[in-house]
């Protein structure tokens, strides 16, 4: 056993000082040493504990597991040369855990796909929604008992279970440190917020929480240690605590955790929804959460509400009122589409109705899956560009796409359309290959004890969360550039193959020249009126075929961890970069322009026939093929929500969209005048919130390109 002289890097010291080569045992030991070294302080506003582990180059997190920062460790050998042997020992024995190791497995072409903005796969570890409330619901004694039962059943996984038990020891040690620190701080400050901390951890975490305030404290403790991901169905799993607790104390605790969620940029909290028999699951806490959201008007956490056939009218009114206050939330999801989509993957109704969103809009089964993590993206607009250029990328001056034929050879629309589909398949194959290489690396090298304790299947199988432990292991690869692909296909079909105004070779040359010398062609393409989002059957028939093709093809691809891939569309903040990557396109877009689709709807500003036409176009897609968030961004003028008639109209629009098979609605409520003024006078509009991709953000915090994307959206 190595004898360290350093006092920093407690996780690494614990990881490498234990008498075991098991990554599971080592990770548990690492947690113990890190928590021993942690300094506990308390947030003055909420009273919740904050952990300072000091500067660590080696850590463990929810997205990537154990990860040493090799560059940082090397620098430590220079400025703390007296401890160089210790740092070099850590480097030598933990370098295989570096998160970028699996990138070396990518082929040159896969790297080219990523660098060119054509797509990416597996380059981050993703989200999940574990049942972290189990620590408040059952207590560590009950979790420990479950681990010991299955340890006896799976003796081949003894090291895995030992790692879980060591992590439980670490969690209990942390709670003891929180209690001691809270008592000491309370003596100094008499901050009443600390009373709930003291009362909670004099009893918890070994035993279940007794009140809502205690459950919130335990939940806060474990979610902070775990790294702060998505809370999931907060109103469902907290309602039992809420109903048996004092209202005033519970409301204060709810506001405290809401402030905490905001300060830590917690990802996605879900409310409402149905069970497998379509019974509504709305409860008193659902309404309280909406009230708190309206009170604070934060842009985080991302708040999602599930809609279904039995959603109470009262809840729809409360949701519309909350959306109308300008926070862009809650985002609305449709159980009638999402649940059948999940069931088509083999997930039974009893579990499909447990779905929640994590991250921005990725779909997960709370406490049962490892699938909502956004495994990659395909820029389908680039697929069309590659079909025109036979897979050649002009910006990078090399072959990146597939060779599907020179423009002169694609003498019918059918041949060209097949080339586009082949390019989509080629990019999809590359993205899924990259994602699977990353999944394999995580499975081999990382240990994720907290998630493994709180996601069903892991303890039962004796398998880690990243190593096929959860019940459901599907993947999600998102399509970007959806309207640009559709509009470009419509223009080429009409003006190249039907009216024969141009040849495909001429289109290729025009795009290569960024339309210089081809200005007439660019104007025809830009002003053709063949824009998706305007209820035009000619365009929409193309849209349905090509996007349903993409989502169907993904379902033929298997994940390394043991599921299949499905599609979605959630550009996050990458729409502008995807637009730059695509360059000039046959929809009239010029190279250097960043305006690009940020959802399944029209290119911002190209839907000119009203919201009903836009929704009709979006409904041509089979939304049940999308196992991830299939988002539609809408922008309404805030005046609409200032009257009962306006709110009623919005609710009717949403219900109609959902009843006809729409999956999701993401709404920004703002005036165009405020947006324009915010560009010129940002200090006057610091609290102006808009939806971007799949999340809410303060408008003034966006890049100029994303600001223009939001401004360009049609204002209904």
What's the structural domain count of the chain?
2
Question: According to the model, what pLDDT value does residue 573 have?
Answer: 80
> The dihedral of CA 559, 561, 567, 573: what is its sign?
negative
Beta bridge partners of 565: 475
Give the domain-ending residue among 115, 140, 158: 115
Strand intervals (E) in 504-643: 565-568, 633-636
Angle between helices 380-388 and 413-445 (to 10 degrees): 130
Mean pLDDT (whole number) for 85-104: 90
pLDDT value for 14? 97
Q: Does some domain include residue 289? A: yes
Q: Is residue 159 part of a domain?
A: no
Residue 138 has a pLDDT of 98
> How does pLDDT run across 511-539, given as a tens digit for each residue?
999 999 999 999 999 999 999 999 999 99
* Residue 706: predicted pLDDT: 83
- Asked if the model's pLDDT at residue 87 lies above 90, the reply is yes
> Looking at residues 407-420, what average pLDDT do you find?
98
Provide the mean pLDDT of the chain: 95
Q: Is the bond leading into 199 cis (omega within 30 degrees of zero)?
A: no
Give domain status of residue 52, yes or no. Answer: yes
* Structure confidence at residue 335 as a pLDDT band (50, 70, 90): very high
User: Of 88, 115, 142, which marks where a domain is finished?
Assistant: 115
- Give the H or E element holding residue 433: helix 413-445
d(CA 213, CA 8): 35
Q: In angstroms, how far is the first alpha carbon of the chain from the final one?
A: 68
In this predicted structure, which of 262-266, 347-351, 506-510, 638-642 has the lowest mean pLDDT?
638-642
pLDDT at 81 over 80: yes
Q: Over range 283-299, report the average pLDDT.
A: 97
pLDDT range class, residue 687, cuts 50, 70, 90? confident
In a domain, 715, yes or no: yes
Measured torsion, CA atoms of residues 268, 262, 259, 231, in degrees rounded to the nearest 10: 20
283 located within any domain: yes
Domain limits at 71? 10-115
Model pLDDT, residue 690: 84
- The pLDDT value given to residue 571: 81
- For the record, the structure tokens of 27 come out as 């990770």
69 within some domain: yes
| pLDDT confidence tier of residue 55, bands split at 50, 70 and 90 | confident
What band does 25 get if pLDDT is binned at 50, 70 and 90? very high
Q: How far apart are CA 375 and CA 438, in angstroms?
A: 9
Beta strands in 359-510 (DSSP E): 362-365, 376-379, 392-393, 398-399, 475-480
pLDDT tops 80 at residue 694? no
pLDDT value of position 372: 78
**Residue 4 clears pLDDT 80, i.e. is over it:** yes
68: nearest Cα among 85, 90, 88: 90
pLDDT value, residue 463 = 98
Average pLDDT on 700-711 reads 86
Q: For residue range 562-597, list pLDDT tens digits in order.
A: 999 999 998 878 888 999 999 999 999 999 999 999
Of the residues 115, 132, 164, which one is the last residue of a structural domain?
Answer: 115
- Please check whether residue 49 lies inside any domain of the structure: yes
pLDDT of residue 103: 83
- The verdict on residue 42 lying in a domain is yes
Burial of 692 (0-12, 13-18, 19+ CB in 10 A): buried
Radius of gyration (Cα) for the chain, nearest Å? 26
Q: What's the CA gap between 14 and 274, in Å, rounded?
A: 45
The pLDDT confidence band at residue 62, using thresholds 50, 70 and 90, is confident
**How far is residue 345 from each of residues 97, 108, 565, measured CA to CA in Å?**
32, 33, 10
């Amino acid at each position: 056993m190595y004898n360290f002289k350093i006092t920093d890097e407690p996780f690494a010291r614990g990881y490498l000082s234990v008498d075991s080569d098991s990554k599971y045992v080592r990770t548990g030991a690492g947690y113990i040493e890190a928590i021993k070294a942690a300094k506990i302080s308390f947030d003055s506003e909420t009273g919740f504990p904050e952990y300072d582990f000091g500067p660590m180059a080696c850590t463990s997190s929810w997205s990537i597991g154990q990860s040493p920062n090799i560059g940082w460790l090397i620098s430590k050998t220079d400025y703390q040369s007296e401890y160089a042997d210790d740092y070099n020992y850590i480097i030598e024995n933990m370098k295989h855990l570096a998160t970028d190791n699996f990138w070396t497995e990518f082929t040159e072409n896969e790297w080219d796909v990523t660098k060119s903005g054509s797509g990416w796969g597996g380059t981050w570890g993703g989200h999940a929604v574990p049942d972290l409330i189990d620590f408040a619901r059952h207590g560590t004694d009950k979790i420990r008992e479950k681990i010991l039962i299955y340890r006896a059943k799976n003796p081949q996984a003894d090291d895995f279970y030992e790692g879980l038990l060591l992590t439980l020891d670490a969690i209990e040690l942390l709670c003891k440190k929180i209690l001691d620190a809270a008592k000491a701080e309370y003596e100094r400050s008499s901050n009443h917020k600390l009373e709930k901390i003291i009362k909670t951890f004099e009893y918890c975490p070994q035993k279940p929480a007794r009140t809502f305030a205690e459950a919130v404290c335990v939940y806060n403790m474990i979610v902070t240690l775990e790294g702060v991901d998505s809370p999931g169905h907060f109103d469902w799993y907290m309602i039992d605590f809420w109903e048996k607790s004092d209202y005033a104390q519970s409301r204060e605790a709810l506001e405290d955790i809401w402030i905490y969620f905001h300060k830590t940029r917690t990802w996605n909290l879900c409310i409402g929804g149905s069970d497998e028999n379509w019974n509504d699951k709305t409860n008193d806490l659902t309404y309280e959460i909406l009230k708190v959201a309206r009170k604070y008007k934060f842009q985080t956490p991302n708040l999602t509400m599930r809609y279904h056939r039995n959603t109470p009218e009262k809840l729809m009114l409360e949701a519309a009122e909350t959306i109308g206050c300008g926070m862009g939330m809650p985002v609305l999801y449709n159980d009638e589409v999402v649940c059948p989509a999940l069931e088509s993957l083999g997930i039974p109704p009893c579990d499909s109705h447990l779905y929640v969103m994590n991250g921005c809009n990725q779909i997960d089964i709370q406490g049962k899956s490892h699938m909502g993590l956004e495994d990659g993206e395909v820029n389908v607009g680039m697929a069309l560009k590659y079909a025109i250029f036979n897979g050649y990328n002009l910006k990078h001056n090399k072959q990146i796409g597939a060779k599907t034929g020179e423009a002169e050879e694609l003498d019918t629309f059918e041949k060209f359309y097949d080339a586009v589909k082949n390019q989509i398949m080629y990019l999809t194959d590359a993205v899924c290959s990259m994602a699977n290489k990353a999944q394999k690396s995580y499975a081999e090298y990382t240990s994720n004890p907290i998630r493994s304790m709180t996601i069903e299947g892991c303890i039962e199988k004796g398998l880690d969360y990243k190593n096929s432990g959860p019940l459901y292991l599907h993947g999600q690869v998102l399509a970007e550039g959806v309207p640009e692909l559709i509009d470009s296909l419509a223009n080429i079909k009409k003006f190249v193959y039907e009216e024969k105004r141009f040849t495909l070779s001429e289109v290729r040359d025009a795009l290569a020249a960024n339309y210089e010398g081809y200005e007439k062609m660019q104007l025809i393409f830009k002003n053709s009126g063949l824009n998706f989002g305007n209820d035009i059957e000619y365009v929409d028939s193309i849209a349905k075929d090509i996007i349903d093709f993409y989502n169907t093809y993904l379902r033929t691809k298997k994940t390394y961890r043991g599921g299949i891939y499905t599609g979605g569309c959630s550009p996050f903040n990458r729409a502008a970069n995807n637009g730059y990557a695509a360059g000039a396109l046959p929809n009239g877009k010029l190279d250097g322009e960043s305006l690009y689709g940020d959802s399944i709807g029209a290119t911002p500003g190209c839907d000119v026939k009203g919201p009903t036409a836009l929704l009709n176009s979006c409904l041509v897609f089979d939304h049940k093929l999308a196992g991830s968030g299939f988002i539609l961004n809408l922008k309404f003028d805030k005046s609409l929500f200032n009257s009962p008639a306006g709110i009623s109209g919005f609710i009717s629009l949403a219900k109609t969209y959902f009843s006809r098979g729409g999956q999701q609605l993401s709404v920004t409520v703002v005036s165009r005048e405020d947006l324009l003024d915010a560009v010129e006078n940002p200090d006057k509009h610091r609290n102006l919130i808009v939806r971007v991709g799949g999340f809410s953000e303060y408008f003034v915090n966006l890049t100029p390109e994303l600001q223009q994307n939001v401004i360009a959206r049609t204002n209904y």
